[in-house]
Amino acid sequence: MKFFKFTFILAVCLNASGLMAQTPVLMPGNVETVTINDHNIVFKTTNAYGRIEVYSPSVIRVRLDKKPLGRDFSYAVIGEPGKGKANITQNEETIILITDSLKAVITKKPFSVAYYTAGGELINQDEQGLGTSWAGDAVTTYKKLQPNEHFIGLGEKTGNLDRAGNGYTNWNSDVYGYRVDQDPLYSTIPFYIGIHGNINYGIFLDNTYQSDFNFGASNNRFSSFGARGGEMNYYFIYHKRLADIIKSYTWLTGRMPMPPLWSLGYQQNRYSYYPEAEVMRIAKTLREKRIPADGITLDIHYMDKYQLFTWNKSRFPDPAKMSDSLNKMGFKLTVIVDPGIKVEKGAPAYESGLKDDVYIKYPDGQNYTGQVWPGWCNFTDFTSSKGRAWWRKQVSFFAKSGVSGIWNDMNEISTWGQKMPDNVLFDYDGAQTSHLQAHNVYGLEMIRSSYEGALEHFKERPFVLSRSGYGGLQRYSAIWTGDNRAEEDHMLQGVRIMNSLGLSGVSFTGMDIGGFTGNPTVPLYTRWIELGAFVPYYRNHTGVNTKAAEPWAFGEDVLDIARNYISLRYQLMPYLYSSFYESTQSGMPVMRSLAIDYTFDPKILWADYQNQFEFGGAFMIAPFESTREYGKIYFPEGIWYDLYNGGVIAGKQEKVVPLNVAKLPVYVKGGSIIPMQSLVQTTSILPTDTLSVHVYNGLTANSFVYYEDDGKSFDYKKGSFYKRTITFNPADKSLTFNAAEGNYTSHFKFIKLILHGFDQADKIIIGKDQIKAENGSYSFLSGAAATDPEGSGSPAESCAVKYIVIKNSTNNIKLNY
C-alpha cells in the first residue's frame, strides 16, 4: 500500500513537471546572475535576460527578453540614462535600487519588480504569480491593481477620461467616420498614468509592435501592457505631481519646438478648395467679413491626378504666385501629402524613388505596391536614412511653391483594403524588420522626414500636421483627430481625445471643427466653432459632398458668434503663444485635463465632468451638447470667475447652470494672469503697442511666464526672445514683473493692467508713487478694452474692472486693497 502511494505521488509530480515544461506561457523564473553598475543592473533569470537602468532619479527603465538583449534603439526616446545618483545593493532575496525620488525592489525568486516612494509607500508592483511572461512571441507585464486605481492617458483613445475597466489596442488605423467607442484609431502613444490614493505614476511601453493595454478589463486582479513581438521595454516614472510626470515623459521623448505664430490662428480648410479662384474667394470673404484668419489648406485636389509633388496646372496655373498673393493678405498655405508614390513610368517622383531605391519591399526584392488615391503606388521607407533623405529632398518642391505647412495624411499606412501584408520589409535603421514591427512607427518617421525637409528648404519655421504617429511625435508635428463626424458626441469625444493626447506629451492638437463627415445642425456648428477658439490647433474642416461649413454659411447670427470667438482667440494670442512656450520647456499641454492640476480630486474623473478642461493655466472650459438647456459643472478648489460677467464662484462645488448656444461656458481661475492684445485680422499684422494684462484676485500666489519672439524664425534659439515672469501674491498684495530675459525687444511699450475682483483697490503703489485705479468694464466678446464707467456692453456681457496704464519697464507693483 505504501509502495502504491509513493508510485502514485511520483507519477503525479512527473506529470505536473511535464505540463510545466510544455506550458504555452513562459515565465522568467528566478534570477541566477547579477551584475551591478553605477546606474544599472544586468541580470539573467532561468528563462530570460534583463537590464534595469536609472535614467533620472524619477525614471527607471526595465528591459526583459527570452534571448540576450539586442540592439538598444528607439524612434521615440531621446533622453539619456544616468542623469542622477543611484544606490544599488543586493542580498540573496532581493536587489534594491534607491534614487532621490523612489525605490525599486527586485525580487529574485521569482523575478518581479515593485516601486515605492522614498517614504516607503507602494506605488506599483508586478502581480504576484504573473509578473512578465511570454505567450509565443507576445510579451506582457502584469501589474497588481491597487485599491480604487484609475488610469488616464494612452494618447489618441476614445472612451472615458478614466480608462479603468477597459482594454485598448495600438495598431495605427485609417478609421473613416469612426464610432465614439472605436479602437484603435490613427496613432500610437503607449504611455499612461496610474492614480491611486495620493499617488500617481507613469508607464511608457516603448515597443512598436502591436501593443495591448488592459486596465482591469474582464478581470479584477491586474492591469497589464504588452506587445505582439519584441522585448519588454518600459519606463517607469514617479513624481508627486502629475505635471512632473508629463515633464519627465517629455524629457524622455522630446518636446515640441516653438510653432510659427500663424499656425495658432484660425485655419479655413475643406476637402477641397479648388481652383485658384475659389481659394482666393475664400480668402477675400474672410477678410471682407472681418473673420480673423491665418491659414488656408488644400486637400488632394490641388495635385495632378492625386500624384504627389505635382500641381494640377488647370486648377492652379501658378502656385508660387497664388501663395504670394495669399501671403500679402496675411494667409499661409498648407497642403496635404500622402506617402504613396504613383507607379507611373516617366513620372519624376516615381523615377527618382526608383533610382535612389527608397521604397519598401517584399522579401524577394520587389517593391511593395498598394492602391490609394493616385492608383497603384510604391511607398517610401521612412525607417531608412536613405528614404528620409530622399523625402527631405522632395520637400523643396513645396518650398518653391511658397507653401508654409505640410499636412501628412494616410500615414498609418493606409491603403485600399487596409491589409498591408505582414511580410513587407522595412530597413528600420539598419535592423531590417517586417511590417509587424514597423507599422506603428511609419507615421512618426514620415513626419520626421517632412519636418526635417522643411527645416532644410523653408525660409521660416514650418508647420507640420499629421494624422498618425508614435510616442515622441510632438518633436515634429501637430496632430488632429482624423475623420470625425458632425455629431454632438463626436464634438465631446474630440475634447477627451485631445485632453488624453495632452496627458501623453502632445500639446499641439486639433479636431475638425464642425465634423468631417455629415452636416452639423446650426446649433452644433455654433457650439463647435466657439469651442474651437480654445483648442490648440483651430481648424475648420469638412469633407467632400458636404454642405459649405465656412462661418458665413450658417446665417448672420452664427457669423456674429463665430466672429466674436475667433476675435477673442486673436486677442488672447500673447497668452496662447506663451502657453505654447511653456509646452516647449516642460511638456505641459495647452489643452489640459483637470486631472493635471486636480489629480486627487475624485470628481474630475466622473463622467459628468470629464469633458471639462483648462486652456493654459487660467481658463476652464465646460463644453456641452448644443441641445442641452442646462449643464452641471464642477468647480475645483479655489475661486472661479465667470469670463463674461465677472461673477465669482467658490470652488469645491457642483453647480447647474443655464446654457445658451450663443455662449460657451468659460471660467477663469482666481490668481490667473492673462496677457492680451488688440484685435488683428491676421498675426502678420502687429497689434497696438499696449499689452493688456488681466489679473484675477485669488487665494494663492501664481506666476505666469510671458514670452515673445518674432514668431517665425529660429532666432529664439540664439537668445532672440523676450521673457518676463509675472507673479501675483495675495499674501502681500503684490504684483511683480521680473526683469526681462533675452535680447529681443518687445513690441509692447505699455501695459494696461486690468484688475478683476479687486473692488477695493483704489490706489496702486509703484515704487514711491501712488496711482489712482480707474473704474471701467471689459467685454471679452466685443473686443473692448477697459473703458469709462459706462463700459462697452450690457452688464450681463461685461466685467467690472479696475485699470491703470504703466510702462512695460515697470517692475514691482503694490495693490492697496
Run means of pLDDT, 10 residues per run, the chain, 817 residues: 42 40 87 96 98 98 98 97 91 97 98 98 97 98 98 98 98 98 98 98 98 98 98 98 98 98 98 98 98 98 97 98 98 98 97 98 98 98 98 98 98 97 98 98 98 97 98 98 98 98 98 98 98 98 96 97 98 98 98 98 98 98 98 98 98 97 97 98 98 97 98 98 96 93 97 94 86 93 46 59 93 80
Instruction: Give the C-alpha separation, 195 to 151, whole Å.
Output: 6
- The residues annotated with a catalytic role in the active site are 409, 412, 483
DSSP 3-state of 401: coil
**Range list of β-strands (E), 618-756:** 619-621, 630-635, 639-642, 648-650, 653-658, 666-669, 673-676, 690-696, 702-708, 722-729, 734-737, 750-756
Instruction: Give the C-alpha separation, 660 to 624, whole Å.
Output: 10
**Cα–Cα separations (whole angstroms), residue 435 to 140, 362, 412, 438, 770:** 21, 10, 11, 5, 71
Segments forming the whole domain that contains residue 780:
673-816
**Cα–Cα separations (whole angstroms), residue 204 to 94, 105, 213, 397, 692:** 25, 19, 11, 37, 41
* Closest to 799 in 3D by CA, of 812, 788, 786, 813: 786
Q: What's the pLDDT at 790?
A: 31
- For the record, the C-alpha cell of 190 comes out as 503607449
Instruction: Give the C-alpha separation, 381 to 385, whole Å.
Output: 9
Q: What is the DSSP-derived secondary structure letter of residue 549?
A: -
In a domain, 803, yes or no: yes
Q: What's the pLDDT at 110?
A: 98
pTM: 0.95
Q: Which helix (H) or strand (E) holds 555?
A: none
Q: Quick one: three-class SS letters along 331-391?
A: CEEEEEECCEEECCCCCHHHHHHHHHCCECECCCCCECCEEECCEEEEEECCCCHHHHHHH
- For the record, the C-alpha cell of 594 comes out as 483637470
* Omega cis (within 30) before 658: no
- For the record, the C-alpha cell of 679 comes out as 484685435
Residue in the structure block whose three cell numbers are 485699470: 803
CB burial string 50-73: b at 16+ within 10 A, e below? bbbbbbbbbbbbbbbbeeeeeeee
Give the list of residues 6+ apart from residue 318 with CB closer than 8 angstroms, or none: none
CATH of the domain at 698: 2.60.40.1180
| Amino acid making up residue 150 | H
In a domain, 302, yes or no: no
Sign, Cα dihedral of 7, 13, 17, 20:
positive
* Closest to 381 in 3D by CA, of 432, 313, 417: 432
In a domain, 637, yes or no: no
Burial class of 783 by CB neighbour count within 10 A (0 to 12, 13 to 18, 19+):
middle
Give the 3-state secondary structure percentages of the chain, helix then strand then coil, rounded to 5.
Answer: 25, 30, 45
**Cα–Cα separations (whole angstroms), residue 19 to 24, 25, 326:** 10, 11, 73
Give the list of residues 6+ apart from residue 520 with CB closer than 8 angstroms, or none: 486, 514, 528, 549
In a domain, 415, yes or no: no
In a domain, 196, yes or no: yes
Total structural domains within the chain: 2
Instruction: Give the C-alpha separation, 440 to 450, whole Å.
Output: 17
Instruction: Give the C-alpha separation, 569 to 531, whole Å.
Output: 11
- For the record, the C-alpha cell of 465 comes out as 500636421
In a domain, 628, yes or no: no
Q: What's the pLDDT at 339?
A: 98
Ramachandran quadrant class, 130 (left: phi over 0; alpha: psi -120 to 50; beta: rest): alpha
> 101 phi and psi, to 5 degrees?
-110, -30
In terms of DSSP bridges, do strands 102-107 and 94-98 run parallel, antiparallel, or are they unpaired? antiparallel
Last residue of a domain, one of 180, 212, 238: 238
CATH of the domain at 47: 2.60.40.1760
Q: Which helix (H) or strand (E) holds 324?
A: helix 319-328
> 186 phi and psi, to 5 degrees?
-85, -30
Instruction: Give the C-alpha separation, 577 to 352, whole Å.
Output: 40
Q: What's the pLDDT at 14?
A: 38
Q: What's the pLDDT at 602?
A: 96
CA dihedral 755, 758, 763, 768 (to 10 degrees): -70
Last residue of a domain, one of 221, 238, 255: 238
- For the record, the C-alpha cell of 621 comes out as 472650459
- For the record, the C-alpha cell of 463 comes out as 508647420
The residues pairing with 690 across neighbouring beta strands, listed in sequence order, are: 750
Last residue of a domain, one of 222, 238, 254: 238
* Closest to 248 in 3D by CA, of 201, 215, 205, 208: 201
Give the list of residues 6+ apart from residue 38 with CB closer than 8 angstroms, or none: 82, 86
Q: What's the pLDDT at 5?
A: 41
Give the list of residues 6+ apart from residue 543 with CB closer than 8 angstroms, or none: 271, 483, 516, 517
Sign, Cα dihedral of 687, 689, 691, 692:
negative
Instruction: Give the C-alpha separation, 730 to 235, whole Å.
Output: 40
DSSP 3-state of 12: helix
- For the record, the C-alpha cell of 286 comes out as 474672410
- For the record, the C-alpha cell of 690 comes out as 499696449
In this structure, the number of other CB atoms found within 10 A of the CB of residue 81 comes to 16
